[in-house]
Amino acid sequence: MVTPRVVIIGPPGSGKSTVGPALAARLGLAFRDSDDDIVASAGKPITDIFAEEGEPAFRVLEEEMVATALAEHDGVLSLGGGAPITPGTRERLAGHTVVFLNVGMAAGVQRAGLSTARPLLAGVNPRATYKALLDARLPVYREVATFEIETDQLTPDEVVKAAVIGL
Ligand code: S3P
C-alpha cells in the first residue's frame, strides 16, 4: 500500500487548489484532489450532489473517495474543506503528513468568492456561514494537522515554500 507524502487540508478559500499542484510540482510528485475524484465518481458537479442528494450523501461519498485516495496515491493530496469533519477520515489521516492551510475570515471570504459553486456558502448570509464554519472547524483541522501555515499575508509561492520548509 502506498501513502500520500503530503495531505493538504483547510477551509474553502485557504488556497488548497492553488498550493496543492504547485507544491506537488516543487516536490516532483503527482497531485490529486478529492473533490475531483468525487465529481468523476458521481458524474456531476458537487453543487448537483448537494442539491439532489443532500450533504449527508455527499459526506458518505467524500469519505469513500478520500479513503481510496489515501490508500493509492503517493503524491500530494488536497482534501475538500469539510473532509476532516468526518470521523472516519480523521482516523485515516493519523500517521500522514497533514498540512493545514489556515486563513482568516477576510482573506478566506475574498478568496472563496462566496460563489454558488460552493453550496455551503451559497445561503442567505454567506459571511456568517463562513465565520461559523471557520470557528467550528478550526479545532478539527488542528487535531489532524502535522503543522499549520497562516496564509493570509502570503502569496501561493510563499505558502509552497513554507510547506517545503515544514516537511
Ligand atoms: C466543502 C468544501 C468544498 C467541497 C464541498 C464542501 C466544505 O471544497 O468539498 O463544497 O464542506 O467546506 P473546497 O474546500 O475545495 O472549496
Residues facing residue 150 across a β-bridge? 102
Nearest to 152 by CA among 93, 95, 111, 96: 111
Q: What count of other Cβ atoms lies within 10 Å of the Cβ of residue 146? A: 15
Counting every residue written for the chain, the total comes to: 167
Known binding residues for Mg(2+) are 17
For residue 137, the ligand 1 atom closest to its alpha carbon is: 12
Q: How far is the CA of 81 from the centre of ligand 1 (A)?
A: 4
* Alpha carbons 122 and 31: distance in angstroms, whole number: 28
Q: What average pLDDT does range 5-16 have in this prediction?
A: 94
Query: Is pLDDT at 16 greater than 70 in this prediction?
Result: yes
- State whether residue 4 is helix, strand or coil: coil
Cα angle for residues 33, 36, 39 (degrees, 5° grid): 155
What is the pLDDT at residue 2? 58
Please give all residues whose beta carbon lies within 6 A of any atom in ligand 1, as ranges: 12, 16-17, 35, 46, 80-82, 118-120
What is the pLDDT at residue 121? 72
Q: For ligand 1, atom 9, name the residue with the nearest CA.
A: 80
The string of pLDDT tens digits covering residues 115-167 is 556 777 776 677 888 899 999 999 999 999 999 999 999 999 999 999 999 88
* Alpha carbons 163 and 147: distance in angstroms, whole number: 9
For residue 62, the ligand 1 atom closest to its alpha carbon is: 9
Q: The cell 483547510 sits on which residue?
A: 10
Residue 18 near residue 50, CB atoms below 8 Å: no
What is the pLDDT at residue 124? 67
What is the pLDDT at residue 4? 62
The string of pLDDT tens digits covering residues 48-78 is 999 999 999 999 999 999 999 999 999 999 9
> What are the E-state strand segments in 84-132?
98-102
* Alpha carbons 151 and 41: distance in angstroms, whole number: 31
